Amino acid sequence: MSEVVAVIPARGGSKGIPHKNLARVGGVPLVARAIAAALRVDEIDRVVVSTDDPDIGGVAREWGAEVVERPAELSGDTATSESALLHALEVLEGRGVDVHVLVFLQATSPFIDPVALAEAVRIVRARRRDSVFSAVEDHGFLWRRGLGDAAEAVNHVAEFRPRRQDREPQYLETGAFYVLRAKAFRLSGHRFFGSVGMVEVPGHTAIEIDDEWQLDVARALAPRLEARTPIDVDAVVTDFDGVHTDDTVTVDERGEESVRVSRSDGMGVALLRRAGIPTLILSTEQNPVVSARARKLRVDVRQGVDDKAAALREWADAAGVPLARIAYLGNDVNDLACLELVGWPVAVADAHPLVAAAARTVVTAKGGDGAVRELAERVLRARAEDRDNARAPKHARAPKKERTPS
């Protein structure tokens, strides 16, 4: 049976940003963000990463993609994306995969819009277009350097300055995705052939990372863009102090400690448990309070561990949950190693700045004041949306507007 296959070229070398495809935006490697976007599109049957780098390959597999090992001659600075795509198609053909529609995603676009991508796939699969790319509407006045370095107008008459609403829009290719009829692409060797169309995407998705400044912009945008996003995971892991508590402790005259916890957080954990979502409390502290709270919540607990990342890996393996399908909620620097491992690194509102910077999203509640409940509700909302999407016919989705260049 012919398939719709997404291919993400992600070589290890990069001059501008070393190991760029593994650079983290919102706590998630760029290549993993592209994989996650592709996996959210029902129309895509298979996601493949083409790479020469074993670290990138490892991340790709962890996030649910197949890997095509790219030869060195196709991995240098002069190698084209088309050469990597053609090689991936040859390898897939050798594996018995019949690729009907090729979806080319670029990991350097961290905010790929799955809804627009799905519409592009439907357009090509229905043979309304042979090649479709993502574009953003643009009303800018463009100039170029002419003779003697003089400025020359490109897309307008310099003496006539119409209002934005009176100017015919143009469309900027974002580079985020291209959807192609696979056989025709193999014949042409180029991503633009036959009848070419484009799908408009939101302006914030047009960011393409080529240098450190663009990476900084993407990192600043990510928490805001994902502030209320449903968190689609299979397990939840939390720190204890500063997450279930407000990170303070009361000591009585006998030296016994007590902490304050939130009943709202307790209900959040109960809702996760009822939904069958494994939950773990992971703490470096060895304290009877932690054990008592875990018993009350009826969840797993690991405490008194020096290496939280190793303990997290061990628990995830035993639970049979990929790290990419785990949300981890933390507050302080001893959570950083765990945040780097999981698919959804989450910080409480009053987290240490380094933790907030490493998080994919920061909840609005502080530790001990509903942060766990907020995370639980977003996880459960993702479950509910998945159920709704499974019940809804695909044609029920609102289509994006397609435009065809003249």
Could you state, in order of their start, the residue ranges of all structural domains in the chain?
2-225, 235-390
Section 130-154 average pLDDT = 91
Contact, 173 vs 146, CB < 8 A? no
Q: Is the pLDDT of residue 240 over 50?
A: yes
Tell me what pLDDT residue 77 has.
80
Q: Please give the average per-residue pLDDT across 156-171, as a whole number.
A: 82
Residue 192, Cβ neighbours under 10 Å: how many? 14
The pLDDT-based confidence of 386 (bands split at 50, 70, 90) is: confident
Complete DSSP assignment for 98-154 = EEEEEEEE-TT-TT--HHHHHHHHHHHHTTS-SEEEEEEEE-PPPEEE-GGG-EEES
pLDDT above 50: residue 406: no
The tokens for 98 are 């019949």
Least confident of 47-56, 137-146, 192-201, 393-402: 393-402
Q: Please give the mean pLDDT across all residues of the chain.
A: 90
Q: Is the pLDDT score of 397 beyond 60?
A: no
Residue 62 falls in which region: left (phi positive, over 0), alpha (psi -120 to 50) or beta = alpha
More confident residue, 257 or 128: 128
**Higher-confidence position of 392 and 377:** 377
Q: Look at residue 394 in the predicted model and tell me its pLDDT.
A: 46
Per-residue confidence (pLDDT) for residue 400, from 0 to 100: 44
How many whole angstroms separate alpha carbon 91 and alpha carbon 100?
15
Sign of the Cα pseudo-torsion (391, 396, 397, 403, in order): positive
The answer to whether residues 51 and 245 touch, using CB atoms and an 8 Å cutoff, is no
Whether the per-residue pLDDT at 396 is higher than 80: the answer is: no
Residue pair 283/290 in contact by the 8 Å Cβ criterion? yes
Note the pLDDT tens digit of each residue in 37-56: 999 999 999 999 999 999 99
Q: What is the pTM of this model?
A: 0.81
pLDDT of 399 reads 43
Compute the distance between CA of residue 249 and CA of residue 230 in angstroms, rounded to an integer: 32
What's the pLDDT at 28?
92
With beta carbons less than 8 A apart as the criterion, state whether 63 and 28 touch: no
> Domain 2-225 classified CATH 2.60.120.640?
no
Q: Mean pLDDT, to the nearest integer, of 313-327?
A: 95
Give the bridge partners for 369, in sequence order.
none
Asked whether 126 and 101 are in contact (CB, 8 A), the reply is no
Residues 6+ apart with CB under 8 A from 211: 16, 17
For residue 149, the one-letter residue type is D
Instruction: Compute the distance between CA of residue 27 and CA of residue 84 in angstroms, rounded to an integer.
Output: 27
Q: Report the pLDDT value the prediction gives residue 216, as an integer from 0 to 100.
A: 93
**242: left (phi > 0), else alpha (psi -120 to 50), else beta?**
left
**Range in 192-201, 251-260, 295-304, 366-375 the model is least confident about:** 251-260
pLDDT of the residue at 74: 84
- Say if residue 398's pLDDT is above 70: no
- Asked if 178 and 104 touch (Cβ cutoff 8 Å), the reply is yes
For the cut 90, the answer to whether the pLDDT of residue 160 exceeds it is no
Task: Judge: domain 235-390, CATH 3.10.105.10.
Answer: no
- DSSP E strand stretches across 139-256: 143-145, 151-153, 170-181, 196-200, 235-238, 250-251
Cβ 32 vs Cβ 153: under 8 Å = no
